[in-house]
Structure 1
Amino acid sequence: MLSAFVYCPRLFFLQWVDALWAANADLAEGRRVHTRVDAGGGAAPLPDEGMLRAARSVSLASGNLGITATLDLVEADTGSAVPGAVIAVETKKGHPTGEGTAWDADAVQVCAQILLLREHGYPCDRGEIFYAATRQRVNVEPGPDLVEQTLTALADARAAAARLRPPPPLEASGKCPRCSLVGICLPDETNLLTRRADRSPRRLMAPDPDSRPMYVTEPGASVGLDHGRLKVSKRRERLCEVRLLDVSHLCLYGNVQVSAQALRTLFDRDIDVFHFSGGGWLLGLSTGLPNKNVQLRIRQTTTAARGDLTAPTSMIAGKIRNSRTLLRRNGGAPVAETVAQLAALAASAEQASDAAQLLGFEGTAARLYFQHLPLLLPHADELPGPAFTGLRNRRPPTDAVNCLLSFCYGLLAKEAMAVGFDPYIGLLHRPRFGRPALALDLAEEFRPLLADSCTIGLINNREIRPSDFIVRAGAVALTPDGRKSVIGAWERRLSTEIRHPRFGYTVSYRRAIELQTRILAAHLIGETDHYHPLVTR
């Protein structure tokens, strides 16, 4: 991690302090070139116990320096006149500088290894870095300047780790595009929001991952593990199987079982399991060990405890503005007055002085919005059950439109549970047993953009059929085929790309949700003064 600090102090903080990690092609290649040295091998006797010839993956620690390290390779320095002299050899996947020298971060890392070897009694006057891309070794000599640079970097890294917020991002740096944490760090976006830069952000966020959610909606099905694949079976009949590599998270609807072996493997791979009722209500989450970003959860808890409304007012204003946009685009002249009222309510929400006032503005806006939502659903009368009158009802929904809305809201809450937050401590929604209050907070601005739009498209495009619903005892529910239709439309909506209104680059809604959660995290830890919601035009 010392080399990471020299390379980028913010990268060091995110990895070492916040324990955030993400893979990319460069990391995969780095693991590949380290395969041999990571396997270990060779004896590493102490200087008074015998001659060290070559040893791989040697672990050393120093209380004086306050560091531990695993050295890729320690081998005898056959060119030294000092008996028992050794050299530290570090393997890197890349190439040296244009002058054929080691990069600063690499040189500091090897210098720290040399200091460790010396403290353990090994004579060591130099190290080497093997750059796999050019297959050459570059010599590193620990002169006074390099030693001072290394010790200074150690002290600065400790000071950075003791702070409550990460160092600021690099500005317009060429290091950022290939960094594995660029989608978490958000260097250009953070600099723009903190006014450290006035240029439009580069499109640095990684594209959508190849993995996708896996949904199991068949009643009585079970999910197991079979040679790196998740298999779904029912009464010993295999229904389908999916490679673990292709699964981002697992969603189980109704009476679906999952084996203990599958759960352990999913936890090892940081794949969450979401449990829904048959009607699509989010009931729970099975996950591995909690995120190690303790400082973020502390800030979240203290912000909620003191009732800070900085973020909630922005979230609700964003939700109202997005509701207004949906009505304006699809409702025409009959909703013109309501569109103007929603604009005024959004402005009022931003100035709310307490939670009760904010919730009052939200409630008024929601009532106006849902009153006119039937105008956007000319084919809703083709669906079974009572007509949708513009009133929300749930648990159970009593009409087909509310049934679809509730199902989509459950999917949206699932998407918003991320980035190391405690999902049950909300900034606006009051904590309640079993309710993911913060996920509901984060979902607010996306309700019109995703859940409501998905419902409108399903009905108006006749993607959902009357036979996809069950009407029983005054309640309306989706059939298994109906759930599949909604999930398919939902995934297509998440993959829809938009131009981000603040940052100017193209991003899918799936990435936009992640981006907003990162922006909220930056606000809670004090990097930005305000939370900026996603508002479309």
Structure 2
Amino acid sequence: MPDAPPDGYVPARMLNEFAYCPRLAYLEWVQGEWADNPDTLDGKFVHRNVDREDRRPVPVPGESADSPTLHARSVRLENEALGLVAVVDLLEVDGTTVTPIDYKKGEAPDLPEGAWEPERVQLCAQGLLLRAAGYTCDAGVIYFSASKRRVTIPFDDTLVARTLALLADFRRVAAAGTIPPPLVDSPKCPRCSLVTLCLPDETNLLRLGLPAAPVDDSATRPPGAGKVRALLAPNDDARPLSVSEPGARVGKSGERVVVELKGEKLAEVRLADVSHLCLFGPVQISAQALAELADRDIPVCHFSSGGWFRSMTTGLAHKNVELRIRQFAVAADPPAATKLAAAFVAGKIRNCRTLLRRNASDDVTMTLNALADAATAAERAESVPTLMGIEGMAAKRYFAAFGGLFKEATGFIFDGRNRRPPTDPVNAILSFLYAMLAKELTVAAQASGLDPMRGFLHVPRYGRPSLALDLAEEFRPLLADSVALSLVNTGEIKPEHFVRRSVGVNMTPAGRRAVLSAWERRLESEVTHPLFGYTLTYRRVLLVQARLLARLLLGEIPDYPAFRTR
């Protein structure tokens, strides 16, 4: 993210964003969000020369340059009266007149004004700063890299008035503390770097009051709702890197993460391909690797040898303080917290019911009916303790039927849920997978600007990612339970993959690798979103749900739409 300006100073670049999309400017300026995409990276490449610091002095106002025309690169300007700050890409000094030159990566548009309004406003803000510093500045230039063309933009009274009006509007919106609504069906959204965080079409769909259920007929949408476009990439190119070999060491070599064991290289992965690093048991990591991962906002998740999610090492905390303030306020409001917790619990119970309905060979009608009633009761619960009671009874009914889903020939027996430590192989698998799910949602919550430790259903406890556990509820049957069922029934995991200790059952390293492999396959499998209609991986779904929760906490959507499959 670009360097922060002095307190109270608005960057000229932010006026560009505000004129383009007020919501984008708010996300970046007030909430501190930033993400690169191909367009922003191309822009950095175009600026690679002009962004170099230039030590040549710029003549003071009223003095002529020593040479007929002087060029100074990356000139920083700020003015307290205007409350503006800018870095001029290139400053051209000709006698006593100065001209700011702004570099843009695209082609010059065919417009009477010579450029789009956001670009002209940003350039005019630079001109106002130069005038405030005492220079003569009547126009600026935008250099469009793709067309290799200079376009002169006069700083006339109309443009100056528009720039100052936008500056005042931006300050008002930022001070109000209410994020502007998303653009509706805008062609600007697909190429926006923050589209995966903004969720414009998804937010518009939910705030217009459509039910949180599959929508098949676009005719039922309110006017202006449009179709939810697949603006998110179905999957992220980066993947988790898990290291579980006892005694292994993780280091860094150039742009790569290197895993070694006793001098032998086990793996080598590009840093750009790592979404987060998972270390199981006695695995070491070098200070250089840890620092590089922190600088790149790549979390390092630490697990016990048995798979207990112990901690997470990250860089500095997410900058979205506003969202965390709202999160803590809702958590401290019992009715609001209960409403959210009810959505998590009801979503979980309905997904448990779906898993049983799809996989049971015996008659489980009574259990299905009981779970349907429990989900309805959860939605009507008026307190978190009541919810916990409903969830506990539903879980008891669910797990009583869950054991019947395993094939007898596998030799695995499940008589009910137990943990800390698990006393049978199936529970060992479930505990491990629940830890993996909590890890994924801790990472997703952190990436969305939420505090993973402050939940709404699970009571805060030292070191426990309560919010991640809240978000995990609806995904336990869809991801963890279904993976455990598949592992056993397909024979991918066998009794010899477990060892019995005096107090419980643990997986062998080979067993853990088998479970991790199946888990990753499940997260990479694609699913059609039941509400938005586009296809994405389950790992991407986890991130979308965390960001929908953020949209709810910020007051943009009325209800949290739990992810439910049919």
The TM-score, its normalising length taken from structure 1, stands at 0.96
Instruction: Determine helix, strand or coil for the equivalent of 1:38.
Output: coil
Q: How does 1:83-232 map to 2 (within 5 A)?
A: 83-99=95-111, 101-195=114-208, 197-232=224-259
Call closer, same or farther: CA 1:477–1:87 in 2, change over 3 Å. same
Q: Report if the CA contact (8 A) 1:379-1:459 is conserved.
A: no
Instruction: Determine helix, strand or coil for the equivalent of 1:177.
Output: helix
Q: Report if the CA contact (8 A) 1:380-1:401 is conserved.
A: no
Report how far residue 84 of structure 1 moved.
1.1
User: Which residue of 41, 52, 61 maps to 1:47?
Assistant: 61
1 CA distance for matches of 2:87 and 2:510?
54
Q: How does 1:409-488 map to 2 (within 5 A)?
A: 409-417=434-442, 418=445, 419-488=448-517
The range that moved more, 484-493 or 301-310, is 301-310
Q: Which amino acid aligns with 2:59?
A: P
Correspondence for 1:388: 414
Instruction: Determine helix, strand or coil for the equivalent of 2:77.
Output: strand
Q: Deviations over 1:65-91 (max 9, x none)?
A: 1011100011024xxxxx410111000
The range that moved more, 46-55 or 423-432, is 46-55
Correspondence for 1:278: 305
Q: Deviations over 1:145-203 (max 9, x none)?
A: 11111001111111121132311000110000111111100000001110084333111
- 1:257 and 2:270 are equivalent in the alignment: no
Q: Report if the CA contact (8 A) 1:276-1:282 is conserved.
A: yes
Correspondence for 2:433: 408
Report how far residue 374 of structure 1 moved.
1.0
How many corresponding residue pairs? 528
User: Which residue of 33, 46, 62 maps to 1:20?
Assistant: 33
Q: Deviations over 1:250-292 (max 9, x none)?
A: 0000111111111111010000000011111110011110001
Q: Report if the CA contact (8 A) 1:412-1:443 is conserved.
A: yes
Correspondence for 1:80: none
Q: Which amino acid aligns with 1:45?
A: P
Q: CA RMSD in A?
A: 1.4
2 CA distance for matches of 1:317 and 1:235?
49
2 CA distance for matches of 1:333 and 1:279?
33
2 CA distance for matches of 1:105 and 1:372?
60
Correspondence for 2:423: 398
Report how far residue 242 of structure 1 moved.
1.4
Q: Report if the CA contact (8 A) 2:361-2:405 is conserved.
A: no
- 1:269 and 2:286 are equivalent in the alignment: no
Q: Which amino acid aligns with 1:167?
A: P
- Aligned-residue sequence identity (percent) comes to 51
Correspondence for 1:321: 350
Instruction: Determine helix, strand or coil for the equivalent of 1:47.
Output: coil
Q: Deviations over 1:310-346 (max 9, x none)?
A: 2111111100000000000111451111111111111
Q: Which amino acid aligns with 2:149?
A: Q
Q: Deviations over 1:447-476 (max 9, x none)?
A: 111011111111111111222211221411
Q: Report if the CA contact (8 A) 2:63-2:96 is conserved.
A: no
Instruction: Determine helix, strand or coil for the equivalent of 2:189.
Output: coil
Correspondence for 2:75: 58
Q: Report if the CA contact (8 A) 2:410-2:491 is conserved.
A: no
Unaligned 5+ residue runs, structure 1?
A: 78-82
Instruction: Determine helix, strand or coil for the equivalent of 1:348.
Output: helix
2 CA distance for matches of 1:361 and 1:121?
71
The range that moved more, 355-364 or 305-314, is 305-314
Correspondence for 2:332: 305
Unaligned 5+ residue runs, structure 2?
A: 1-13, 210-223
Q: Report if the CA contact (8 A) 1:314-1:533 is conserved.
A: yes
Q: How does 1:284-363 map to 2 (within 5 A)?
A: 284-307=311-334, 308-363=337-392
Instruction: Determine helix, strand or coil for the equivalent of 2:481.
Output: helix
Q: Report if the CA contact (8 A) 2:377-2:390 is conserved.
A: yes
The range that moved more, 102-111 or 202-211, is 202-211
User: Which residue of 18, 31, 35 maps to 2:44?
Assistant: 31
- 1:68 and 2:96 are equivalent in the alignment: no
1 CA distance for matches of 2:525 and 2:544?
15
Instruction: Determine helix, strand or coil for the equivalent of 1:35.
Output: coil
2 CA distance for matches of 1:195 and 1:416?
27
Instruction: Determine helix, strand or coil for the equivalent of 1:22.
Output: coil
The range that moved more, 135-144 or 228-237, is 228-237
- 1:527 and 2:540 are equivalent in the alignment: no
Q: Which amino acid aligns with 1:243?
A: R
2 CA distance for matches of 1:392 and 1:399?
10
2 CA distance for matches of 1:49 and 1:264?
48
Q: Report if the CA contact (8 A) 2:141-2:150 is conserved.
A: yes
Q: Report if the CA contact (8 A) 2:425-2:495 is conserved.
A: no
Q: Report if the CA contact (8 A) 1:501-1:534 is conserved.
A: yes
2 CA distance for matches of 1:379 and 1:217?
31
Q: Report if the CA contact (8 A) 2:309-2:439 is conserved.
A: yes
1 CA distance for matches of 2:203 and 2:409?
43
